[in-house]
Structure 1
Amino acid sequence: MPDLRRYLPVLEWGRTYDRSALSNDTIAAVIVTIMLIPQSLAYALLAGLPPEAGIYASIAPIILYAIFGTSRALAVGPVAVVSLLTASAIGQVAEQGTAGYAVAALTLAFLSGGFLLLLGVLRLGFLANFLSHPVIAGFITASGILIATSQLKHILGISAHGHTLPEMVTSLLASLNEVNLITMLIGVLAVMFLFWVRKGLKPFLKRLGASPMVADIATKAGPVGAVVVTTLAVWGFGLDASGVKIVGEVPQSLPPLTMPGLSGELVQALLVPAILISVIGFVESVSVAQTLAAKKRQRIDPNQELIGLGAANIGAAFTGGYPVTGGFSRSVVNFDAGAETPAAGAYTAVGLAIAAVALTPLVYYLPKATLAATIIVAVLSLIDLSILKKTWGYARADFIAVVATILLTLGLGVEVGVASGVIVSILLHLHKTSRPHVAEVGRVPGSEHFRNIHRHKVETDPSLVTLRVDESLYFVNARFLEELIQKRVTEGCEIRNVVLMFSAVNDVDFSALESLEAVNQRLSDMGVGLHLSEVKGPVMDRLKRAHLINDLNGQVFLSQYDAWLALNQLRSERPGNTAAE
């Protein structure tokens, strides 16, 4: 049973489910459902799919995640960035509005789900760490700009296209003569209203004497208010006849049973985008889940999260949806509304299913400009240009990574942006570790501690050099250490012993081993002893298996202080040489 609970977390939290949890989860589900109805329709529009696809993608996936996921508050469904990635990917293989476009979306969800499941079963969640936070922040910021720009055509009531910022801006400028003034009025007023709802409605209601809960629910339901008012306006004044584009007929049904297309050509075209969507979706989802779990001193299992998200995406593929992941805004609303278990998500799915059956006729006259306004207001919170200032002041390499990711995403598209983000992250890691921090250390007077000679007043011995290696040694940085030792030894003709302090070395790969063997031989030929100190057990085991320890021309010391006592040629009672700070 413990092994089964590991893969089916529902068996764990389901055993302790009680009436209090049911009440809290139900309240949270009602609030999240109200928020998700317009949001799901809007994100389907962003993905280039029929509006019902957004609702379908929010039903089965939520239920499947509730069974397999480990977060108590994560709400799974369509999100802005993944919707944009979906539109970019399937727009390359099918024309929007065709049956092939919808099938491609199903296939993308299926491939994404399969990839996530594979990573989860193989417990490879750590691979997502190859995307550094600055790169993710840069990509999400650029995506927010692209998403907001892509929705301006709906706000203005014009036809425009493009997947990059230059293409979008050029297309928008070329179509300005087609602007529909009524549509623009609806879109601008909706944007203004939604911004006010987000920032000013809650304080306004509190001043009127509303309770915090009522004010909070009203704020969350703000987009619904915009949907209702603009829909009634279009219906009442017949604005669709004046060129205002509306949602139109939405099927009044539960999610249908669908089949993704698995032709070799389609799979080949969508495989790489599916992997990129999976990685971005997982990183976004797990970061949200971990943040919310920490607030209640809970924990999540990243590898099981992969399985939960994989199951959710496969569910979307067979129920008329498209790729999904854990969304920040809906998850925070779910958490703040008091959700205690993943059952809140299942109840949300029930609410959305009811909406799909009973409420879809009510959105027939819903203007697309309102949905675009919903998207714009939601994604502008993703844009964080302060990351540029933060990284510039902290680490120029991270700043370059952020700028490169933003510019490549805006200029070449989201897929190139994601791929370049991964590559930049890996290159940054290789760059940082290719020149590991190696400090020459000396003894702090009157103690057994050793510190950097350039930062502290320490005792040194001209015949003894101790180098503290602050990084694991592998093929990228092995040559650097080898050359550093060679340079230091040739500079000091009095040197008789070199000690490598390995307290921070967690691993030594074969390339690094060969470098250490070369250093040992070279120093031996020069009459200089090579010694090791504070070597960790696993590292020592590997060095012994490779016979380096047996061939070492020096000794291995348990501590650096032992090495100092054994190799220091100065009298212990006489002050040693002191390096200035």
Structure 2
Amino acid sequence: MNIVKFIPILDTLINYDKRNFRFDLIAALTVAVVALPQTMAYAMIAGVHPAYGLYSGIVLTIIASSFGSSNQLATGPTNAICLLIASYMIPFVGSENFFGNLFLLTFLVGTIQLTMGVLRLGSLVNYVSHAVIVGFTAGAGIIIAMGQLNNLMGITLTSGHLSSIGKVIACFQSIDKINYHAFSIGIFTMAVIIFLKRINKNLPGALLGVIFSVLLVMILGLEKYGVKVVGQIPQAIPPLSIPNFTLSAIGDLGTGAVVIAIIGLVEAVSISKAIASKTHQKIDPNQEFIGQGMANLGGSFFSSIAGSGSFTRSAITYQNGGKTRVTGVLVGLIILMVLVFFAPFARYIPNASLAGVIMLVAYSMIDKKALAKVLTTNRNDAAVLLVTMLTTVFAPHLEQAIYAGVAISLLLYLKDSGVATVKTLEPVRGNDGQFVEQIGNGQDTSISILQLEGNLYFGSSADLDKKLSDSYSNSKVFLIRFKSVLIIDITALEVIEGFINRALAEEKRVILSGVTPKILRMLDKMHIIQHVGIENIFMEDDEVFATSGKALDEASSFVRNVSYKTEKISAQAYLTR
């Protein structure tokens, strides 16, 4: 195996353009500022000390960026994954091996993901369409913004864990408790970002906005006015850990690991594809599977909880100019440096300032041009987009939006593919003696030419049966043309056989043209050739309409009751190969 291909960071470093370092560093600093409080908060959702979220933010981010496919994907603790971790770890709360089992869960998730990547199962994500990605991205932007409203307004929610919609409702119910100092800090941060971006898009507006906010908190002593800050951050590097490798623990956590692994992969690849649609990077899902697997696998030995791609942090990476996967490595190193050297200063970061950064990121995630294009181009894609977006906003779990989008996409595809195309054609001799085709007008009833098109399978067999029945006429000869058939299965062939048997029973002649070798073998195995006769089978020809012309000559000969031989490709030759 090519080690550079297996470890993409090596290729990035070998061919690294030094001009990108400034962009990667600025993006990494901005992401790290957001990741510090975010990873701590997610760890608390998972039911563990905030320090374990920081450890995951260091280890998982560095490893996933080194092995993954996307240049902008930021890996670490996420809301959805941490909620699942809390659910599956409930039976172990208070036990001696709680942390051993916690890290075993991370190990199992990584093992499953890495195995799927090595087996090249990344093609499974091809069932996530562009409309799903656009809808998921827009919906995620909405819920991210809603989830930060209470922090922006400085309102303390006392109802425990709430959904994004629940937070919005709670905020409006407690509007009289708004902290105007915190709200002003958040609006100030947003104003700084917008102003600096208008001056120069390359300025690190989010980072400078947070730094200015920290200075205001420290100089004006805003904490005494109720402005909440990130608070104390532990000064430590990720310690080594040993998962609890026992068969009983593996059995207890196996199902949960599978669920978390699959949801984590769907999240990571969906986010990667969403950002790649803007950066035009080609994403390799198999390599992304490997990257996520290696991150969780390695993280299990460095006190990390399972993680996946973060929509918020990935979007910040993109919006702040991160060019390469070096950004993710720098994020991990910066968080590590903050833990070791700058923890006392980072504690002054106001939550309202971070909420302002995240809200602007959420707004930028809604690709208005892509939304308009999908909504106005195709009704099916528009339906998929709306279902995905609404499910993202209203469903209790984020991953359900992906499932809903994929499900509605497949249902609409099956609905459309359940339609069979049967055209009644008539030949018209042109001036050059060639046959041209046009939609039949029903004037000539001696010969009926039926052209079958597209995918003929069990899903479209009912429609095929109806359309063949409607096409049945008093013609003496039915010429069935297979030239435009892409796929055909035994169910569709049984429908065609029923039509042929009806015609033969009424002493009509049936001729099959444009038959491929594959279809011929299927006709032979179903004994259709025995009923029709090998002399009435005309094989596919490279010359356009050539086989139909030969078959038509044969049909005309039969109608005129004139016996003459016509040159044709031998179907028998294909059967004896």
Instruction: Give the counterpart letter for 1:558 in structure 2.
Output: E
> Partner residue of 2:402?
418
Structure exhibiting the larger radius of gyration computed from Cα positions: 2
Query: Contact conserved, 1:137 with 1:387, CA < 8 A, in 2?
Result: yes
Secondary structure (helix, strand or coil) at the match of 2:262 reads: helix
* Matched-pair contact (CA < 8 Å) for 1:42–1:54: no
1:511 aligns with 2:481: no
Equivalent positions of 1:5-44 (< 5 A) are 7-8=6-7, 13=11, 18=14, 21=16, 23-24=18-19, 26-41=21-36, 43-44=38-39
Partner residue, 1:466: 450
Match in the other structure for 2:350: 367
Q: What is the CA distance between 1:397 and its match in structure 2?
A: 2.7
- Structure 1 range deviating more: 515-524 or 178-187: 515-524
- Structure 1 residues 91, 501: closer, same or farther in 2, change over 3 A? same
**C-alpha separation between the residues in 1 aligned to 2:56 and 2:477?**
70
- 1:405 is aligned, of 372, 388, 391, to 388
**Structure 2 Cα separation of the partners of residues 44 and 151 of structure 1:** 15
Aligned counterpart, 1:453: 439
Q: Give the Cα–Cα distance (whole angstroms) in 1 for the partners of residues 262 and 552 of structure 2.
A: 55
Structure 2 residue ranges without an equivalent (≥5): 558-577
Structure-2 residue corresponding to 1:383:
366
Q: Which residue of 2 aligns with 1:521?
A: 501
Deviation at 1:408, TM superposition (A): 3.1
Hey, what's the Cα distance between the residues in 2 that align with 1:326 and 1:166? 20
- Structure 1, unmatched stretches of 5+, are 203-214, 572-581
Question: How many residues are matched?
Answer: 531
CA 1:277–1:185 in structure 2 vs 1: closer, same or farther (change >3 Å)? Answer: same
Partner residue in 1 for 2:569: none
Corresponding residue of 1:324: 308
Q: Residue 494 in 1 paired to residue 475 in 2?
A: yes
Q: In the aligned structure 1, how far is the partner of 2:56 from the partner of 2:518? A: 48
The TM-score with structure 2 as length reference comes to 0.77
Q: CA deviation at 1:226?
A: 1.8
Cα deviation 1:345-364 (Å, max 9, x = unaligned): 54554444334422333211
> Any idea what the Cα deviations from partners look like across 1:349-401, whole Å, max 9, x if unmatched?
44443344223332111111111112111111222466665444333233233
- Aligned-residue CA RMSD (Å): 4.1
Residues 482 and 513 of structure 2 are in contact (CA less than 8 Å); yes or no, is this contact kept in structure 1?
yes
Closer, same or farther: CA 465–36 of 1 in aligned 2, 3 Å? same
State the distance in 1 between where 2:178 and 2:301 align.
39
After superposition, the Cα gap between the structure-2 partners of 1:483 and 1:33, relative to the gap in structure 1 and judged at 3 Å, is same
- Identify the match of residue 78 of structure 2 among 73, 79, 83: 83
Question: After the TM superposition, which of the residue ranges 516-525 and 462-471 deviates more from structure 2?
Answer: 516-525
Name the TM-score, length of structure 1 as normaliser: 0.77
Q: How far has the Cα of 1:180 moved from its partner?
A: 1.6
Amino acid at match of 1:159: T
Structure 1 pair 196/110, CA: closer, same or farther in 2 (3 Å)?
A: farther
The residue number in structure 2 matching 1:210 is none
Classify 1:188/1:75 alpha carbon distance in 2 versus 1 (closer, same or farther; 3 Å).
same
Work out whether residues 316 and 323 of structure 1, in 8 Å CA contact, stay in contact via their aligned partners in 2: no
Aligned-partner Cα distance in 2 for 1:459–1:74: 64
The farther-off stretch of 222-231 and 552-561 is: 552-561
Picking from 544, 551, 554, the partner of 1:566 is 551
SS at match of 1:470: strand
Among 345, 354, 379, which residue is 2:337 paired with? Answer: 354
1:93-137 deviations in Å (ceiling 9; x for gaps) = 689xx9999999978765654443343233222221222222332
Whole-angstrom distance in 1 between the partners of 2:178 and 2:270: 39
Contact 1:409 1:417 in 2 (8 A): yes
Residue 235 (structure 1) shift: 2.2
Q: In the aligned structure 2, how far is the partner of 1:376 from the partner of 1:105?
A: 32
Residue 480 of structure 1 deviates from its aligned partner by: 2.0
Q: Secondary structure at the match of 1:499?
A: strand
Distance of 1:388 and 1:550 partners within structure 2: 55
Identity of aligned residues (%): 25
Q: Deviations over 1:227-266 (max 9, x none)?
A: 2121222222222232221111112233334567867666
Amino acid in the other structure paired with 1:373: G
CA offset digits 1:470-494 (Å, max 9, x no partner): 22x32212232232212211xx222
Report the Cα distance in structure 1 between the residues aligned to 2:477 and 2:283, rounded to whole angstroms: 53
Could you say what secondary structure the match of 2:16 adopts?
helix
Does the CA contact (< 8 Å) of 1:86 and 1:323 recur in 2?
A: yes
